Amino acid sequence: MDYEKYDYIIGMDSYNIRNILRIIRQDSGNKVTKLLDFSDTSGDIADPWYTGNFDDTYDDIKIGCEALLKYISDKASSLI
């Protein structure tokens, strides 16, 4: 299963997370999380298909990706 290949399995919203967990059945490695959980602003990233607000979605994804990168960098630094 692909689950073992990856350190992080990231969804954009609660619906994504529910579907991921349904597929993998068990998150024994605590790998499944929402992107914004790495940031100071946890929560769902709104789907711009429904909201029409692509700028807010872009901003949220940028915040989440930057926070994820910092998390990974900090974790790697602590191993040195």
Does residue 45 sit in helix, strand or coil?
Answer: coil
User: What is the domain-level CATH number for residue 55?
Assistant: 3.40.50.2300
User: What domain range includes position 13?
Assistant: 2-78
The answer to whether the predicted template modeling score (pTM) of the entire model surpasses 0.95 is no
- The model's pLDDT over 30-63, given as tens digits with 9 standing for 90+, comes to 999 999 999 998 899 999 999 999 999 999 999 9
Q: How far apart are CA 28 and CA 65, in angstroms?
A: 24
How many domains does the chain contain in total?
1
